[in-house]
Amino acid sequence: MDNLNIILAILGIGFLIFVHELGHFLAAKFVGVRVDTFAVGFQPTIFGWRARLLAFTYGDTEYVVGLVPLGGYVKMAGEEPGSDRTDSDDEFHRKPIPARLLILVAGATMNLIFGFLLFILAFTVGVKQQSAVIGNVTTMGPAWNAGIRSGDLITAVNGVSWSDYSNVATAIALAGGSNPVTLTIDRDQVSRDVDVKPLWDPIAGRFRIGIQPAISNRIAWVQEGSPVAQVGLQEDDQLRAIRLSIPSSDLLAVPAQGLTADRLLQSLASLRNSTAIGNLGLEIQRGNESLIVTIDLSPDEDGNNRGIGVISRMRTVLAIQPGSPANDFFQVGDEILSIGVAGQEQQPIEVLDLFTIGQVVQDRDAELILSNRRGTQSRVGSEDLRRWLGEELIIGPAARTVVKISETAQQQLKIPVGAEIVSINQQPIGITDYIDEKLNPGSEITWIDATHDREQIHRVMTEQGEPLRLGLILGSPARIGRTLPGSPAHLSQLKPGSIINAINGIIVEKWQDLSSAITGSKGPITISLTEPSGIQNDVELEPITLASPLGIAMSADQFTEELPVGEAVIQGGRQSWIWGGRIFLTLRALFAGDVHGKNLNGPVGIIDLGRKVSEVGFGNLFFLLALISINLGIFNLLPFPILDGGHIFFLTIEGIRGRPVSEKIQHYVHLVAFLLLITLAIFVTYNDLLRLW
């Protein structure tokens, strides 16, 4: 099927080139210019044989169809300076300037006309579009800081209405660099305008605001032999709810109501990695039938990814989205120490996530009480907390353990390396790894001993005199937050709150070092750790092979835009105007540095894109060909030598001066332009190959 789609893409692009050359041919015939050759496709010479599918002569013209269905040309008598000119009246250079201009613009005009017609055909057949609903929002990114959330529907960018994500993303990228863009969003059937300041993404090579399009809850792909395939999940099944169970209890249910498909899938991944035993129940809608399938969470004996079943401590508020109701209950830097239901005893926690909430309460209407290190409590609805976690309320490991402190500060404040900084002047430590500010005399620093007497809070004041420079470098040690039920760490009774210092003698400085140390080991391992009490201990255990990924992919949140012919004509005109204008916006963005050149596609990339689009449907293929045709038309009219626009430029000078530009000057200008085009072709082809590989 891939080969067929590649052939369709090549034939489609070849057709557009044929249309362009046909425009030149018809215009030349119309004004009486003799056409020596009308060729479509390349005709490479192979061992002396010119690779042609068809060649014949009719009248004064040789008609050729080359073996490779890309490229083409029209050779007109007297077009090129040189010895083939006879000054006959049917030669190109003998025609008046208006006639020659007509021939030169005819190719681009045909592309613009066919682009418009292809748009009409595309919307008549039906174009599958990605909805403008937001899926994921990058934490601390521009959109997140502006209060945009998953599930929001973008309806306009800077006042221009759009219904699909592709147009939204393009409009943002071409809006003018880092200048704020105004997004009109719908949330809970209420429309509002939000100003967002894009940031440069060096990887993408353009300005972005940190959003991704939404997925649906419909399964698009099931990996053969995967855990979900083994329990009978199929493509087009819809995921409705998730339930996690372990032998001792039924821990947590996550229904789809009130959650976007993206958040539901995140919940699935979170719960999947929360235990090494038990099962995961998925509620599936298949047609009119509701099904419950159960996935065993036992380790995969055939896998090669080893682990001991631990999760890092994650109970510190790292960020709260501006405008979120969570701001009324928490502060950045809060460390949640315990959680419970009103009227019941609170439970100390090391990790605040869906699993923890499920252990405490299953009643989604219950009110939870969360106590933090500041000595205050937050009373939050269970359902609200579940909804906030991971998007509006970011909980994670606090990078606030002292790795280094200036000598002066250590002597004055007596804060040891390994201590945890809780707050400075009653302001909690948020997301940072370096604090070098100067503190005025009388400033207060609150810290705790990370290894001894953890509940003892120390408060120190800076002395009178000159401001004190802290020079703090903070880090996050490999501190255990939870041991997964049924895992080696759980069975070996590793205590939450313990710090892992080494694996088989290899120092573990931070949590990220732990996975590589375990994966690179063979057989049993020795873990050197510091328990919450401060006791140093060595524990030997045998890692297990972690369970395989579920093996599913969800389909995009799409809709099909299929219009009656009359409406398709209107939409075709609108799309032609919009995309024609975007060519100039793109050129402006490239020269201004707002878009990197690596986003340009060459022939290889265009064919690959055509292949992918062909898989979606003919409507999308026609839409892509319409875009290419509009681009061919407008780019050929740009005043660049070798292109039709370059020839038009020289003709314009000829009309003004009354005589043509000298052949010598034209020769050198075209030579330089040719070298530039070859360089550009190499550059875009290199980018194409990088993307494909």
Read off the pLDDT of residues 112-171 as tens digits, 9 standing for 90 and up: 999 999 999 999 999 998 999 998 898 888 999 999 999 899 999 999 998 899 889 888
The answer to whether position 253 is within a domain reads no
Question: Is 361 found in the same domain as 446?
Answer: no
Q: Is the pLDDT of residue 589 over 80?
A: no
Report the half-sphere exposure of 242 (CA within 13 A, side-chain side): 24
Question: Is 582 found in the same domain as 680?
Answer: yes
CA-nearest of 126, 178, 132 to 153 is: 132
The answer to whether position 51 is within a domain reads no
Write b or e for each residue in 448-483: b if 16 or more Cβ atoms lie within 10 A of its Cβ, otherwise e: bbbbeeeeeeeeeebeeeeebebbbbbebbbbbbbb
Average pLDDT in the 434-443 region? 78
Q: Is the pLDDT of residue 266 over 80?
A: no
Please tell me the predicted confidence (pLDDT) of residue 44. Answer: 72
Question: Is 389 found in the same domain as 318?
Answer: yes
To which residue do tokens 């039920």 refer? 485
Ranges 30-34, 214-218, 544-548, 650-654: which has the least confidence: 544-548
Q: List, in sequence order, every residue forming a beta bridge with 389; answer none if it has no partner.
A: 393
Most confident of 241-250, 332-341, 413-422: 332-341
Side chain identity, residue 458: H
Question: Is 187 found in the same domain as 161?
Answer: yes
Q: How confident is residue 327, by pLDDT bands cut at 50, 70 and 90?
A: very high
**Structural domain ending residue among the three candidates 561, 596, 617:** 561
> Residue 137 maps to which CATH number?
2.30.42.10
Q: Is the pLDDT of residue 355 over 60?
A: yes
Average pLDDT in the 247-258 region? 54
Question: Is 118 found in the same domain as 8?
Answer: yes
Question: Is 424 found in the same domain as 390?
Answer: no
**How far is the C-alpha of 235 from the C-alpha of 1, rounded, in Å?**
19
Q: Is the pLDDT of residue 256 over 60?
A: no
Question: Is 191 found in the same domain as 159?
Answer: yes
Q: Is the pLDDT of residue 304 over 70?
A: no
The answer to whether position 520 is within a domain reads no
Question: Is 413 found in the same domain as 377?
Answer: no
Sequence-ordered list of residues with C-beta below 8 angstroms from that of 135, at least 6 positions apart, any chain: 150, 211, 212, 213, 214, 215, 260, 261, 262, 557
In the chain, how many domains are there?
4
**By percentage, how much of the chain surpasses pLDDT 70?**
88
**Structural domain ending residue among the three candidates 441, 475, 509:** 475
Token couple for 517: 């140390």
Please tell me the predicted confidence (pLDDT) of residue 432. Answer: 62
Average pLDDT in the 449-458 region? 60
Question: Is 391 found in the same domain as 375?
Answer: yes
Q: How confident is residue 417, by pLDDT bands cut at 50, 70 and 90?
A: confident
Domain that holds residue 662: 2-32+95-126+575-692
> What are the pLDDT digits (tens) for 539-555?
999 888 776 677 888 88
> Residue 344 maps to which CATH number?
2.30.42
The answer to whether position 11 is within a domain reads yes
Please tell me the predicted confidence (pLDDT) of residue 247. Answer: 61
Please tell me the predicted confidence (pLDDT) of residue 583. Answer: 82
**By percentage, how much of the chain surpasses pLDDT 90?**
21
Please tell me the predicted confidence (pLDDT) of residue 196. Answer: 94
Question: Is 111 found in the same domain as 200?
Answer: no
The answer to whether position 122 is within a domain reads yes
Q: How many CB atoms lie within 10 A of CB 339?
A: 23
Tell me which residues are annotated as active site.
Answer: 21
> What are the pLDDT digits (tens) for 365-408?
789 999 988 888 999 998 899 889 888 998 988 777 887 888 88
The answer to whether position 148 is within a domain reads yes
pTM of the model: 0.77
N residues, the chain: 693
Please tell me the predicted confidence (pLDDT) of residue 105. Answer: 93
The answer to whether position 250 is within a domain reads no
The answer to whether position 511 is within a domain reads no
**How far is the C-alpha of 371 from the C-alpha of 124, rounded, in Å?**
60
Question: Is 684 found in the same domain as 626?
Answer: yes
Question: Is 18 found in the same domain as 132?
Answer: no
**Structural domain ending residue among the three candidates 428, 445, 475:** 475
Average pLDDT in the 88-98 region? 87
